[in-house]
Amino acid sequence: MSYRKLIAVGFASAMMFAAPALAETASPPSISVIGEASVSVPPDLATVDGGVTSEGKTAREASEANNVAMGKVLLALKSAGIDPKDLQTSRLSLQPQYVNQVRPGPSVLSGYRASNHVTVKVRDVARVASMIDIMVGAGANEIGGIDFMVEQASKLLDEARGQAIADARRKAEIYARAAGVALGAPLNIAEGGSPAPRPYRKMAADLAASAPVAQGEETLSVSINVVWAIKAP
């Protein structure tokens, strides 16, 4: 037997043995759809980011001034009823400042800038505006942003999860009827990722004290990919 014939016979034999294996591993006929649902609820928690930026001729001068100013802000928040566990430092920095020179040459150090920011967890969203007023009144000159959220979001999403499954079934049945087949049991269910939080816009400290704050509603969404089997005729 020639070399080419030997290869052909070997290839044919391999295909004969591989065919049953391929038949056994072939995926069953199915319909894949995405079910979606959402629930809108008022937020019950908010975080406010704010702090103090101070400047000084030396690093020590800037740091000490910043520590004193930030201490007043923290004391005012605690006096307003904010639990210490709901206060968390979010940014702490000390940076040299340089004079802008018209002539070329080395930069000239003009001083230092110290910054300290804290994230305040406000458990009564109706007090967000008053918390900003308290921070600014105590010396905060930067309000970084506000973020409204729902604390027990997972529990509230359970209702939406059930609705998402129902939505997936509805879509799959439409496709099944259009294709002239019968829908079987779900073969796979996978929940999609949560949407990224939407931060509130940044505000300057001189505007924050008088800025109205609208909490609105938070929309909690669920996206579920479901693969349904197609029943054999």
Give me the domains of the chain, ranges plus CATH numbers: 27-41+152-204+219-233 (3.30.110.170), 45-149 (3.30.70.2970)
Which residue has tokens 């069953």?
Answer: 28
Q: What is the mean pLDDT of residues 63-80?
A: 96
Q: Say which range, 48-52, 147-151, 226-230, has the weakest mean pLDDT.
A: 147-151
Q: List beta partners, residue 212.
A: none
CA distance 91 to 116: 6
- pLDDT of 167 over the 80 cut: yes
For residue 232, the model assigns a pLDDT of 81
From 153, 155, 113, 143, select the one nearest 206 (Cα to Cα): 143
Q: What percent of the chain has pLDDT over 70?
A: 78
Residue 170: band (very low, low, confident or very high) from pLDDT cuts 50, 70, 90: very high
Q: Say which range, 106-110, 179-183, 191-195, 204-208, has the weakest mean pLDDT.
A: 204-208
Q: Write out the H or E segment, with its range, that includes residue 80.
A: none
Instruction: Judge contact between 223 and 35, C-beta under 8 A.
Output: yes
Instruction: Judge contact between 67 and 156, C-beta under 8 A.
Output: no
CA distance 150 to 152: 6
- pLDDT of 208 over the 60 cut: no
Beta strands in 150-217 (DSSP E): 183-191, 203-204
pTM over 0.75? The answer is no
Q: What is the pLDDT of residues 75-130, one digit of tens each?
A: 999 999 999 999 999 999 999 999 876 777 778 899 999 999 999 999 999 899 99
